[in-house]
Structure 1
């Protein structure tokens, strides 16, 4: 069974996602204790947390509490849609494809992913790339970063004369930076715990970098603060903001928190700061969704075809060990009988290779249709044919 457990922006707000991520980890730990989990891959982004598992078919008796749980075909369809950006808050965004690649590479490196999820994620990455080539689903600025910048513009108007502070120079901070470059801003400051990364990003922007411990000074006269760190806890409390920013500047300031877990404490809004988070990007996301409806329909058609191919590939995987066994048995017989023939024929003046190649061809031809029929039986879930074949070949030595 292939199982997908998730929580995302479609079913929960940012606070619920933050709460549910730890509960999902607890459920996953229980599943590992109580069931046979052969493979798994975890994905975590700013507005989703997911686990994909390959496990036994025994019932799952857990309290899911708002988590989405899907298995087999539904789980496969979801990961294909996910790779294409159809499940993202900003439809068509490219970042999810990179996040899927990173999650898959990490799982391979740690030995958590095997043949099944390898087949699934390789297909998902391929489909994500194909949809972006064959449709215009990702045309223009489509990312959480660009949505955050658009939100700032909707509140403050033109940002050209505004001072923007970016906190975090990781992937999400880079997306914000790319969106800001298009606005031709004059004053951009980047703060990051690793100063070298802040410097690299600031150089691309034509802005300046600061050490993280100078964050308060940079906030003093900032018009917009966009925070996107990977910190496991809040980095800006109401007290820190109040100490750093003069009272007359607080009501002019816009703060946008696109981190998960959040970087900015909710109480900051009580200071008069206009504070926004991932949930506030939904309006911009809805506009983006309407613009891309026709492209999404084309993507759905591609996904439907690729899902069918993926399911066939996974059914072939089920019968591959048996096919490998048949091939091994046939090869053992071929080698044994060929060696007997060589002993009887004596010196063949270097023609042994011809006989060896001939026997290989004969064995391959004999089993060609058998193997093809076994694959077709697996595609159609024809257990009777597969069980009969296993019975017929079990004593073939």
Structure 2
């Protein structure tokens, strides 16, 4: 069974998402205690937290909760392919989720928690993401979370070229904000990050300046726009901090956009007169983007449907891979042994050994070609009797 458990922007606002993301970790530990989990992988971004599991069995009814969407097998895999294509994103067609899926796959392999099933599924997801972006224009001129954050700031201030913009966080989200600001040709940009070197690199790209995190208070004093996107586990900008740091004459003019999850900026900050936005406020921009890409989305859906057929076929082939592996290993061992015997009997072959070796490889390959092909087709068609017979005939006996 393939299981997907998730919470995302479709089912939760940022407040619920913060809480549910933590609950997902608890649920994962519960599942591990109750059921044998063969493989697992998680994806966490600013507006989603997802868990993918491969189990022998699982009573989904016992897991159902209002906090999460839970889907299995075909539905779970279709969701992942749509996710990789940008169809499940808040801002349809955005490319960031594609990279996040690739990173999640690499991380899971490195940590040894994904096996042949998840690797097959996620390899297909990466492939589908590439095909959709190549064959459609779903991501052409698409917004990112970062550029949407800048658009929100512009909705209040208008042209930002005469404004001082402070970016807090130089990670992936901060970089997306930076790219959006570069397009605006802004000059007064300050980057703050706990790792100063990262801030320096990002500021250099922007033509702005970098500050150490302990100088954040000074940068806040006269900032017009603050866009925060750190990975901090708790708020870094609180009501008390801003009240003490930012002069009253500036604070009512300040725009803050918080695109972190969990949030970087306390909600109470808005009581000071700050115009505070978070991920939930991006939905209006996202809806406009979605309408612009409806045709491309339809084309992407067709690609996902076609690729799902191929993915299911690949997973069926995995079921007979142990039998096929036994066939190949046994055949190769026999081929090598008999070829070596032939070499000894033939004596000096004047360098023609490769001809004989290649000949025996071709003979074995052609001899078992139809056998392997038929086994794969039997798996695709769920012909259990054929698979059981093949296992009896070909599997190695202990």
TM-score range, shorter chain: over 0.9
Q: Deviations over 1:255-296 (max 9, x none)?
A: 110000000011101111111100000000000000111111
What is the SS of the residue equivalent to 2:184?
Answer: coil
Partner of 1:26: 26
**Equivalents in 1 of 2:120, 2:205: separation in Å?**
38
**Which stretch has the larger CA shift, 62-71 or 150-159?**
62-71
Query: Mean Cα displacement is larger for which, 14-23 or 183-192?
Result: 183-192
* Matching residue of 2:41: 41
Shift of 1:30: 1.4
Determine the C-alpha separation between the residues in 1 that align with 2:259 and 2:100: 16
Looking at structure 1, the residues matched to 6 and 259 of structure 2 have their Cα atoms a distance apart, in angstroms, of 19
The structural deviation recorded for 1:183 is 1.2
Partners of 2:3 and 2:367 in 1: how far apart? 39
> Aligned residue pairs: how many?
395
The DSSP-based 3-state class of the residue aligned with 1:182 is: helix
**What is the TM-score when the length of structure 1 is the normalising length?**
0.94
Partner Cα distance (1:353, 1:160) in 2: 71
Question: Do the aligned residues in 2 keep the contact of 1:329 with 1:396 (CA within 8 Å)?
Answer: no
- Name 2:171's counterpart in structure 1: 170
For residues 158-216 of structure 1, give each alpha carbon's deviation from its aligned partner in whole angstroms, at most 9, with x where no partner exists.
Answer: 11211111111111011001101111223111111111111111111111111111111
Distance 1:356 1:91 in 2: 54
Matches within 5 A, 1:1-397: 1-60=1-60, 61-335=62-336, 346-350=345-349, 356-394=357-395
Normalised by the length of structure 2, the TM-score is 0.94
Deviates more, 1:199-208 or 1:172-181: 199-208
Q: Structure 1: which 4+ aligned runs deviate by more than 6 Å?
A: 340-343
Alignment check: 8 A CA contact 1:198 1:210 kept: yes
Work out whether residues 230 and 260 of structure 1, in 8 Å CA contact, stay in contact via their aligned partners in 2. Answer: yes
Report the Cα distance in structure 1 between the residues aligned to 2:208 and 2:341, rounded to whole angstroms: 79
Q: Deviation per CA, 1:345-364, whole angstroms, max 9, x where unpaired?
A: x3444266655544433332
Partners of 2:370 and 2:75 lie apart in 1 by: 32
Supply the distance in 2 between the matched residues of 1:375 and 1:10 (Cα, whole angstroms): 39
> In terms of mean alpha carbon deviation, does 254-263 or 379-388 score higher?
379-388
Asked whether the 8 Å contact 1:83–1:124 carries over to 2, the reply is yes
Root mean square deviation of aligned Cα: 1.9
Unaligned runs of 5+ in 1: none
Higher mean alpha-carbon deviation, 225-234 vs 56-65, is at: 56-65
Instruction: List per-residue Cα deviations over 1:47-78 (Å, max 9, x = no partner).
Output: 00011111112424224232011111111111
